[in-house]
Amino acid sequence: MVTNLPAKAKAIWAKAMIVKDPEEKLELLKQFYSSFPKHKATERLEVQIKRQIKRLEEEIENKRKKHGKVINIWNVKKEGDIQVTVLGTFYDTLNFFEKIVGLEIDQFEVYTRPQIGTLKIDSILLQVLLCPFDESIGEEKQKKISNLLYNADLFLIILPNSNYITYFNKLISWLEQNNIILNAKRKEVKIERTSEGGIRIVGKSKFITDEEIKNFLREYNIVNGIVKVSIETTLEDLETVIFGQVSKPAILLCNNIEQEREIKKYYTEVYNLKVFFEQKELLKSVLEILGVIRVYTRRKDGVVAERPLLVEKGKTVIDVAKIIHKEMAKNFLYAKLNRNGEELKVGKYFILEDGDIVEIRSR
């Protein structure tokens, strides 16, 4: 639910987001925390702001102690087509990770550097990160490992054999402390502030109108910017982005049918699969959750690219042409398209489907 903060609190937050000086920002965050009433709708926000205050205090303290640039090795940039982070207890994640990426991991190294593997399914490269969440790890090491969460496209969550409801509750709480909330599907919500131009909205939501979005953002003194929304976006999603939270889709890997049924009673919004999945089935679920399809390009000599382009559902032939080269899109004539063995001649606005093979013809 939306927090419905008082105008004073929104004004303090708007100022805190503009300020660059860490100590001034810290003071404003503390003022912001004190400025709104604490109730059910603000519980998540309270935890989040406390976390931000703590991190900013640590950042200020570290800068006082250290000089020079510090490189965070735990911030792993995305490589390949899709980045997937595996979460679960220490040994569950370790065993699963070794099995799917074919690597043997030294347990000690899990604490000292990121464990990164690659899984190739039908020419799609999945970058797999190991991110155990376990009370045995210790708070400081767990904090480092948590950096692996933010660039991920999707989480694979492995449930333990026993006490899995309790474990999953703790995991959700830990993610929220790190400003991450789980969703069944990816909710593409981004706010990029600009110096002028008003509020420009990219995409369409079935829950809120463009005018509602603009009015809501103005309450937080956001009057210029590019706002990207998806069909599932709500006002609550916009507010979580304003306060620095990110939304991540998740697949919950269950051990058996009984466990899956039990989880569904409590968490209807989380995707579920068995642990002993078939790889193509997993890839199909990942693509569906992320809302993307595979499109293969073909040269004039008939050679089809081994690796497909991943594009959002609903994209057209001209969108693919723009990805390949802007001149190709500019001089577009038509495209030859192979769908399920049938050859078609199509125009620039022909909507693509998963598995299509496209050959662009241009002037």
Looking at residue 263, its pLDDT comes to: 83
Looking at residue 243, its pLDDT comes to: 83
Looking at residue 204, its pLDDT comes to: 87
Write the pLDDT tens digit of every residue in 79-121: 989 999 999 999 999 999 999 999 998 988 999 999 999 999 9
Counting as low any pLDDT under 70, the low residues of the chain are 1, 66-71, 184, 187, 268-277
- In the numeric block, which tokens belong to residue 165? 């409801």
**Which helix or strand (DSSP H or E) is residue 202 part of?**
strand 199-202
Q: Are 263 and 167 in contact (CB under 8 A)?
A: no
Looking at residue 15, its pLDDT comes to: 87
Q: Number of helices (H) and strands (E), helices first, in the chain?
A: 13, 15
Looking at residue 96, its pLDDT comes to: 92
Helices marked H in 267-346 — which ranges? 279-290, 317-324, 326-330
The residue assigned the tokens 């300020």 is 19
Whole-prediction pTM? 0.79
Looking at residue 230, its pLDDT comes to: 82
Looking at residue 232, its pLDDT comes to: 79
